[in-house]
Amino acid sequence: MKSDRPEQRSLRAQVEQALSRAIITGELAPGALLTVPTLAQQFAVSATPVREAMLELESRGFVAPVRNKGFRVTEVSDEVLRELVEVRRLLEPPAMRRLAQQFPQERLADLRHVAEQIVAGAESGDLRAFLNADVEFHLTLTRMVGNELLTDLVEDLRSRTRLVGLAAMHESNRLGEWAVEHLELLDLLAGGDADGAYGLMHRHIHHTLGWWEGDPGPQFQPEILGYD
């Protein structure tokens, strides 16, 4: 008998990605109750991949089980968000500094296309398109540094980060300003401006806390994993 497990894994991944994107962008607000039967109907799949997706989201802290009801979207404290941002700022800016010193110019056109997709998503208010392109852009850059452990760490940290006030940022045009920073980062990388890439990435990550937080600027330049 032919196993349907690969297809089931694919369905689980699709459901998990769609729900995680909705939670990250705030489309599914903290406190929202999600039930397996309702989600299965919504995604037109069986209950099994939905249940597996919910367990994966629970392991990432995105949802918590509610007895005999389903799962509730969790709320992330300001303290946890700041801790995520702090760790990301310890890792990603130094990585961009190193990448600027060895940036492969032949990759520039493809990366610029992805950056333009981020800008288009911000301009249209398509938050999922914005986020999908943003994840692709930053993880591609991180992989180009050539350290698999770093890539895994950054991917995990980004998967747990909630983007505070993303919809409000679009309404105030702040999201567009954030999106343009991806093109600016590419220019710095392609131009070999290591310190500029470090500083921009440091500020860029801070926006995940919301623009109202202000930007303290690069207060430290850690020598993490030999990236400086």
What pTM does this model have? 0.78
Phi, psi of 215 (to 5 degrees): -125, 110
Rounded Cα distance between 95 and 68, Å, is: 46
Tokens of 171: 């309404």
The rounded mean pLDDT for the chain is: 85
Q: Per-residue DSSP letters for the chain? A: ----HHHHHHHHHHHHHHHHHHHHHTSS-TT-EE-HHHHHHHHTS-HHHHHHHHHHHHHTTSEEEETTTEEEE----HHHHHHHHHHHHHHHHHHHHHHHTS--GGGHHHHHHHHHHHHHHHHHT-HHHHHHHHHHHHHHHHHHHT-HHHHHHHHHHHHT---TTHHHHHHTTHHHHHHHHHHHHHHHHHTT-HHHHHHHHHHHHHGGG-GGG-----------TT--
d(CA 88, CA 205): 7
pLDDT in tens, 60-112: 889 999 998 999 999 878 888 889 999 999 999 999 999 999 999 999 999 99
**Where does the pLDDT of residue 162 fall: very low under 50, low under 70, confident under 90, or very high at 90 and above?**
confident
pLDDT of residue 221: 41
Whole-angstrom distance, CA of residue 165 vs CA of residue 124: 16
Which domains are seen in the chain, by residue range?
5-73 (1.10.10.10), 78-213 (1.20.120.530)
Pick the more confident residue, 209 or 137. Answer: 137
pLDDT score of 158: 86
Residue 217, pLDDT > 70, answer no
Query: Rounded to a whole number, what is the largest CA-CA distance in the chain?
Result: 60
- Write down the pLDDT at residue 203: 93
The reported pLDDT for the residue numbered 225 is 38
Q: Is the pLDDT of residue 178 over 50?
A: yes
- In degrees and rounded to multiples of 5, residue 193 shows phi and psi of -85, 85
Q: Give the integer Cα–Cα distance in Å for 179 and 121.
A: 9
More confident residue, 2 or 41: 41
Is the pLDDT at 37 greater than 50? The verdict is yes
More confident residue, 125 or 210: 125
